[in-house]
Structure 1
């Protein structure tokens, strides 16, 4: 019996980029039984041990080692080498489909089968492998069937293994601008070039989950990707060095997605990637803050996505307190979700970025571990002065004002102990405080230093003795029912407005509050200072809050 050994990589898992690949050509395969995509590696034939079932076999290695049974050896004989000791399997050739070319896949998915058609009548339509019963769907299918007019196509999961006959794509569908080729059987960058060479208008290309072999030397393919603006290479196994080798061929690229590739940024891009506005490095756990400095000089980089890379700290050494860094000069949008950020110093450093106005920082110890998410949000807003959007929520001017005033008050006692003073001539907080709160002095200039009365520590109290039972009325909305609510007398007007905003579905900025008391009939007192409490305005049990918008 004989064995034909191959290397197989499933498109469902990651391949570490530092593992040497076996020698020989790679060919994509699809396993019918296991239902997983990948690449195979052809090697020489070897005699199988006599106790192995007779016949012709393929040796495969799965990206997910749990799907395999061995390391490519049997009874002491090594038939092929695996990257993982349990990643290998032997399977029969009849269980494998080697895929189809680009044009065949395109026709399978988009071309209507021949037959009589009448708009408005029920008919059976085959799209790809699916049979669909449609009514009045003819005109849509006809448009899609005109391949030469197609501009946006998806061939995801269609077992595409290459370009096919030379020039065939260019003749059939020359106007394609967007292509999704994710999760297919493309095995090398040369396969991609063969396809892209025939699509001169190509602007968006998704190659995710194709385990690709990239060139080992620099390439400059003039014209192949001359219009390409968006390139998605998630889970392709690409390394940073390979990115830089291919990048000269992407002269106008604006968005580059490199998620889940175990990338380590090893060198600074020089004369490449200079047009990139968005860079996604999500789920590359080998990246640290020092590596990020290597991409900090990309002149047009506006959006940087660093979710789930394990980062916990960042520091811009060229900028002191209150100064802006020269790094990431154009960066406006930063995503650091699902990391290990636990210190406020990380947030403080972000205030040094010249252009940052949008931040997403969810599911980090600093934010997820907080008991009061609203307070955490306020403190982030107060610490990053130019921020306009936080965690996809717009920061309105009144929210920023309230956040900065609350922050100023929350750390007022600490400021005084560190040497802070209401008298500007005596206001000299120590370096430790200024390092922990770089914007505090600016906020004192903006709003005035906190007064001693604001900083008094409240004595412990029994909540039930300080709850006010208030009637909530709507003078201009007669159809609204009068409500009765219990509120702490220490509650600020800002928080009362927040409560009412959620209750009434009315923006905080539109709410006007006042109150009236049975003790002062006919007199209405405005609650105009959002930072003061109900107690400050002498609101008592039985009084009525008047709400207008």
Structure 2
């Protein structure tokens, strides 16, 4: 058991894990190792058994832990040079790369033309510049697992030209274990350490020291390392020249206690636990030259941690590129304030947020993703590309005009006393009005019917008959019949509805629509000049005659609503003289 300790990295059957506990488990005989798997779905629990917590896991997954016997079969770790030769010098050592001269495609054998030449080139380890040794069980040099030909001192002689190195998903335990390798690679610029779980991130070498290989790094990937903000800061202290950083999938919820290097120009923080832009406001102080910011697949919903607090902070003005795709935005609040928080923003990705799958207009009508695209452009005047698409001048004009009309519509539907509150949700209102003119706002009166309601599609028809004195069941002008008829009803149906309400066969009815307007019968001549635009009072003075305009509703398929503009109609009912009409037909 002396060879095991908390933080030790192990692998069994290709699955990597970290020792979190060593000792007994109640109800089980013998000694056990409590481990946290790199692949959390491989585990059975969170470090507890029968209500007793034996260790804590760093992963947020509910079951990343297991108990294993120390006597389990453990995979043998490799040194850096062993892994390098396994991957790139198999032809020299008689490995698989030279033994396979043919491949099979759909059951047919094909010759691998040129693969031997590639194998020979790879065998020339001194010429390697880009090296990928991920998931090869690479561990630290501890003096017991090396030979003279495989020692740290042989790294510089074996592969002196490496510029890009991937050591992800291996068995390193401390930053110094990694530094000892990097110190022997004088040309190293890019380092990938993804999914290494370090128990110690301190570094004994003084930053900027010419003897430190980490000090030469300009680009690093530290994804899936389960780092806290403080641990990430300690890791980066050994890389004083770094410009590009990826620290995704580290469960980071805030950068308040994480001082990042001032040299950074690009920071990718995808798949963490940020819930607002305020969680990363510390970037303003520590990264004054930042240009690219990746926040994809977080939980960002608002600009600030509290929905009731206005955003008073700014991110570095040098930022021009931001990725906010796959977050948790459900309202326009963050986008409305984005121009002020990131004043230099030119390129934005914001797709796949809940906001764009449930868009509604001011009157509740569903909007499309194209509408969301336009409304986003209109809210960010300095934007040049959105979701990788270049914004043309025509798109901007159309988007801003559309957005302005939507604000006008929202104002029309809101009470006048809430105008200020409504406009507070649209910071661009004033600027857009100056550019395109203020839209006309027509507010609905208290008794006005909602144009989208069923009531707006009905006509209130006042039906009366001058023959009511002779026919008892016909309504007179003083006591008319009120009938609501849909505008879409054909005149055929109108005759049927009114006939049924009056108890008269429809074919016996003649329906006359009284429009309430007047037409001139004869044109008057005033001083020899025909006056076409005189009003009714003038007409009386010059002897003109006016007649009430009427329209007979002849049975047909034409809808009733096409005869008038308002919501009310006055219909006069006359009874046909069927005998007289019959005689005229045969005369």
Length-normalised TM-score, structure 2: 0.61
How do 1:146-157 and structure 2 match up within 5 A?
146-157=124-135
- 8 Å contact kept, 1:200–1:226: no
Corresponding residue of 1:174? 160
Q: CA deviation at 1:139?
A: 2.7
Q: CA deviation at 1:283?
A: 2.1
Corresponding residue of 2:355? 366
SS at match of 2:139: strand
Corresponding residue of 1:139? 117
SS at match of 2:327: coil
Corresponding residue of 1:345? 333
Q: CA deviation at 1:207?
A: 0.8
Corresponding residue of 1:512? none
Higher RCO (C-alpha under 8 Å, 6+ residues apart): 1
- 8 Å contact kept, 1:66–1:87: no
- Evaluate the alpha carbon distance shift between residue 228 and residue 47 of structure 1 in structure 2; reply closer, same or farther with a 3 A threshold: closer
Within the candidate set 226, 230, 251, 2:215 is matched to: 226
**CA distance in 2 between partners of 1:283 and 1:75 (Å):** 33
How do 1:369-518 and structure 2 match up within 5 A?
369-370=358-359, 371-415=367-411, 431-450=420-439
Length-normalised TM-score, structure 1: 0.65
Q: CA deviation at 1:75?
A: 10
SS at match of 1:338: coil
Corresponding residue of 2:183? 197
Corresponding residue of 2:192? 206
**CA distance in 1 between partners of 2:356 and 2:176 (Å):** 45
- 8 Å contact kept, 1:265–1:291: yes
Q: CA deviation at 1:368?
A: 2.5
- Evaluate the alpha carbon distance shift between residue 309 and residue 190 of structure 1 in structure 2; reply closer, same or farther with a 3 A threshold: same
- Evaluate the alpha carbon distance shift between residue 190 and residue 240 of structure 1 in structure 2; reply closer, same or farther with a 3 A threshold: same
Residue 87 (structure 2) pairs with residue 101 (structure 1): no
- 8 Å contact kept, 2:18–2:37: no
Residue 51 (structure 2) pairs with residue 62 (structure 1): no
Corresponding residue of 1:290? 278
Write the deviation string for residues 511-530 of structure 1: whole angstroms up to 9, x where unpaired: xxxxxxxxxxxxxxxxxxxx
**CA distance in 1 between partners of 2:423 and 2:304 (Å):** 16
**CA distance in 2 between partners of 1:384 and 1:72 (Å):** 48
- Evaluate the alpha carbon distance shift between residue 86 and residue 192 of structure 1 in structure 2; reply closer, same or farther with a 3 A threshold: closer
- Larger radius of gyration between Structure 1 and Structure 2: 2
Corresponding residue of 2:264? 276
- 8 Å contact kept, 2:173–2:200: no
**CA distance in 2 between partners of 1:243 and 1:290 (Å):** 19
- 8 Å contact kept, 2:276–2:304: no
- Evaluate the alpha carbon distance shift between residue 309 and residue 377 of structure 1 in structure 2; reply closer, same or farther with a 3 A threshold: same
SS at match of 2:112: strand
The root-mean-square deviation of aligned C-alpha atoms, in Å, is 4.2
SS at match of 1:144: helix
Corresponding residue of 2:323? 335
Unpaired runs of at least 5, structure 2: 104-109, 360-366, 445-449, 458-485, 490-587
Write the deviation string for residues 448-471 of structure 1: whole angstroms up to 9, x where unpaired: 333579x9x988899x99xxxxxx
Q: CA deviation at 1:71?
A: 7.6
Q: CA deviation at 1:247?
A: 2.4
**CA distance in 1 between partners of 2:277 and 2:323 (Å):** 14
How do 1:91-130 and structure 2 match up within 5 A?
91=69, 93=71, 95-114=73-92, 123=101
